[in-house]
Amino acid sequence: MTKTQSEAQKVLVAGATGTVGREVVAELLARGARVRALTRNPAKADFPAEVEVVRGDLGDPASLAPALEGVEAVHLIVFGGEEYAPLTTGPELLAQAAKAGVRRVTVLHGGGPSPLEDVVRSNELGLEWTVLMPVEFMSNALFWADDIKANGRIEEPFVDRVSSMVHEGDIGAVAAVALLSRDGSHHGKEHVITGPAALTLRDKVRILGAARGAEIGLVELTEEQAVERMRAQYMPQETIDFMLEMYGNTPVEGRTVAPTVPDVTGRPARTFEEWAAEHAGAFRA
């Protein structure tokens, strides 16, 4: 992809204020694309000046008309609103995107059934599509920041489980390449996106400790203790079951290193050591 090729392209990014979306925006900008960021609340959005911020709600496809105007490619999420509820308006908003002249989409897979993803995969609308299937995000480690700052330790079950977790920037990079690809080479692809190593929880804690300059303790919880804690946090049973399945019985993709990042982006996948160095401040009291 040359700069001139990508400069002509305008890309709409949904979920642009989120963990993955903001990385998609950054990677598109780095490749010279013109970026339009979708948000329900432009006042809250904080982007570089060259990003065009537009208001729109994926749950209300009519609100997306201005956002879709003149756009060649769209990055989509499969949820809308609270608790990552699957977006029920997916088919409608995709039809609207196709009608507005959108040529290709990337979809951030959410792990469950999605009416939006079903339509995309069916090829009904003639859109080129790429489904992004990242494994566990490295940024999930930020959930531990308060405990680490307050107590210098975390309490978790399944400490020997292995995860090939991925840097969010690499999800953004794979998305950007697919969104800007005009030769059809990413059409119909499901990209499993992982980091460069499969690490245990013990490895992660050691790496985070080294990055923040102070060792972090790891207390192993039994599965029963972990469930009790999640219940005390009012986590819905469905989410508890999902967490136990993901962590207690991580699917093979989630614990295997895939070559997608280097293959698609031409760069090595970013390591957890790099992620930890970038976020070390979040783990220091």
Ligand X SMILES: NC(=O)c1ccc[n+]([C@@H]2O[C@H](COP(=O)([O-])OP(=O)(O)OC[C@H]3O[C@@H](n4cnc5c(N)ncnc54)[C@H](OP(=O)(O)O)[C@@H]3O)[C@@H](O)[C@H]2O)c1
- Rank residues 180 and 193 by Cβ distance to ligand X and give the closer one: 193
Taking the complex as a whole, the smallest distance from the CB of residue 132 to ligand X amounts, in Å, to 9
- Rank residues 143 and 234 by Cβ distance to ligand X and give the closer one: 143
Taking the complex as a whole, the smallest distance from the CB of residue 117 to ligand X amounts, in Å, to 10
Q: Which helix (H) or strand (E) holds 2?
A: none
Taking the complex as a whole, the smallest distance from the CB of residue 136 to ligand X amounts, in Å, to 4
Which residue's Cβ has the minimum distance to ligand X? 18
**What is d(CA 250, CA 140) in angstroms, rounded to the nearest whole number?**
15
* Owner of token pair 């029920």: 88
Q: Under a CB-based contact definition with an 8 Å cutoff, are residues 58 and 93 in contact? A: yes
Taking the complex as a whole, the smallest distance from the CB of residue 88 to ligand X amounts, in Å, to 11
Q: What is 38-75 written as a DSSP string?
A: EES-GGG----TTSEEEE--TT-GGGGHHHHTT-SEEE
Taking the complex as a whole, the smallest distance from the CB of residue 12 to ligand X amounts, in Å, to 11
Nearest residue to 27 (alpha-carbon basis) of 198, 169, 233: 169
- Rank residues 143 and 183 by Cβ distance to ligand X and give the closer one: 143
Q: Alpha carbon of 208 to those of 67, 90, 159, 201: distances in Å? A: 40, 38, 15, 11
Q: Which two tokens stand for residue 204?
A: 């992660």
Q: Which helix (H) or strand (E) holds 135?
A: none
- Rank residues 222 and 233 by Cβ distance to ligand X and give the closer one: 233
- Rank residues 82 and 160 by Cβ distance to ligand X and give the closer one: 82
State the residues that interact with ligand X by CB under 6 A. Answer: 14-21, 38-41, 57-59, 77-81, 84, 108, 110-111, 134, 136-137, 140
- Rank residues 27 and 136 by Cβ distance to ligand X and give the closer one: 136
Taking the complex as a whole, the smallest distance from the CB of residue 162 to ligand X amounts, in Å, to 15
Q: Which helix (H) or strand (E) holds 156?
A: strand 153-156
